[in-house]
Amino acid sequence: MTFDQLEWLEAQARMLEPGAADRENWTSKAAQYGSAFIDGLPEGKTYLPDQDRGRALASLPFGEEGRGIDEVLEAIHLGVNSSGINPASGGHLGYVPGGGVFPSALGDYLAAVTNRYAGIFFANPGAVRMENDLIRWMCQLVGYPEGALGNLASGGSIANLIAITTARDYFQVKSASIPLLTIYLTSQVHHCVQKAIRIAGLGEAQIRYIPLDEQFRMQPGALQQAIDSDKSCGLIPFLVVASAGTTDTGAVDPLDEIADIAGKERIWYHVDAAYGGFFTLVEALRPTFKGIERSDSVAIDPHKGLFLPYGLGAVLIRNVEAQFKAHHYMGNYMQDAFGPEQEVSPADLSPELTKHFRGLRMWLPLQLLGLAPFRAALQEKVLLCRYFYEKVQALGFQTGPYPDLSIMIFRYAPSGKDANAFNEALVRYVQGDGRVFLSSTTIGDTYWIRLAVLSFRTHKREIDLCLDILRQGVTYLG
Ligand SMILES: *Cc1c(COP(=O)(O)O)cnc(C)c1O
């Protein structure tokens, strides 16, 4: 390597800094693709089995020379956006549908172009303030007192992990005592909670699965009994995790009664509201969440209930000091980065240091659209689920419990046939049709079809379409 190479190297390297004409061309082509994609959603399929298995991408190996934008967009279109589940579609009624409100894309665009450093207050006070303001807004939403904070994480799994890590360090758990600790869940808890327990090093703790009532909610009486019995054996009750909207049925555990017990027993009370948390925006649903404000921590996913694109879950923690102690660390090379801070930095409240400035993709839609349409959309989802509940019964289906939120389970009971096999075939029929997408679950030994209404693009048209397809499916399979 010699210095006379610099000129040539710079000429090459400058291709990383495209001029205005190239930028305009790429931006407008990408925006056109995005617009066509959105406009095509109502008539497009929600599910197309992947025939191609991404082969369109395999035909574009990374080479020394760049390619044209048209060729690249075409490859993304064929390789990524033409098969599998389309979570941007209003017909997505399986799992927990995601979102993708348009202004979030602009937030991501601006965050990437300006590349502000949102991990540390010193580096960008405004970015950190923006993220903390969003967190404080969510804290208010769940009724936490002033001073509570949390973190904008990549999703609900990491949000739950941060909460459980904080609980662990708050109790100054030592490895020798882990087998004596007891953790209380139900079998309906999201599997990322068990995963977080293990990742947090608590895999040897005793996990107690508290019995469910008929609505698949935790029974507080049974929780108290389990705690009493554990204490009498010399075990140490440590953590209870309630769900505010389970993945299977959308059930909200009796949060207030669990708060009574957690408070009396002085155990950490975590609420996984990754799916359900934003329904607190709907005034009429607030009683369902009574008691969430008494918890120690909450996981709540803006990429679910706030209809943002994937990549944003939040943890809210009442005792920020505890969260800070569990996550703060210092490196010598960070010595300039500390001054008289007015805001706690995300880097001190999560495992991340350098991170996506994900606040902007949440802040921008809230600013551009206002809260009213979000509230309306959430209320609409609940009503659509209740509407479906009635209509699907009228079609002869059995239903699970009346939905607390916007998820419910149902199944057909064909005469003289194996019901589980029939419903499995029915789900395959619906998925084969592809205009809507439904998923299933098994509770006990019973196969259930799930309806999860959470896409901002799902309206009465999509629910009616789903009912039509189910009617056709029953006839076809009958
Ligand atoms: C989706 C979900 C999670 C996991 O969140 P991710 O964002 O997928 O990591 C956790 N708990 C509940 C109740 C969920 O619905």
pLDDT by residue (tens digit) across 378-428?
999 999 999 999 999 999 999 999 999 999 999 999 999 999 999 999 999
pLDDT (0 to 100) of residue 283: 97
Residue of the nearest CA to atom 4 in ligand 1? 156
pLDDT by residue (tens digit) across 158-198?
999 999 999 999 999 999 999 999 999 999 999 999 999 99
223 closest CA partner among 235, 233, 240, 210: 210
* Ligand 1 center to 386 CA (angstroms): 23
* Ligand 1 center to 288 CA (angstroms): 19
pLDDT (0 to 100) of residue 50: 78
Show the ligand 1 pocket: residues with CB < 6 angstroms: 96, 155-157, 190, 192, 243, 247, 272, 274-275, 301, 313
pLDDT (0 to 100) of residue 342: 80
**Nearest atom in ligand 1 to 190's CA:** 11
* Ligand 1 center to 257 CA (angstroms): 23
Q: What's the CA gap between 131 and 358, in Å, rounded?
A: 8
* Ligand 1 center to 418 CA (angstroms): 32
Which contiguous run of DSSP H or E holds residue 59? none
Query: How high does pLDDT run on average in the chain?
Result: 96
Rounded mean pLDDT of 283-307? 98
**Nearest atom in ligand 1 to 157's CA:** 9
* Global confidence as pTM: 0.97
* Ligand 1 center to 368 CA (angstroms): 27
pLDDT by residue (tens digit) across 298-322?
999 999 999 999 999 999 999 999 9
pLDDT by residue (tens digit) across 32-82?
999 999 999 999 999 998 777 667 788 889 999 999 999 999 999 999 999
* Ligand 1 center to 194 CA (angstroms): 12
Inter-CA distances, 93 with 33, 69, 79, Å = 25, 33, 23
Q: What's the CA gap between 90 and 461, in Å, rounded?
A: 9
Q: What's the CA gap between 215 and 45, in Å, rounded?
A: 33
Residue of the nearest CA to atom 3 in ligand 1? 156
**Nearest atom in ligand 1 to 243's CA:** 13
pLDDT band of 339, cuts 50, 70, 90: low
For the beta carbon of residue 48, count every other beta carbon within 10 angstroms: 15
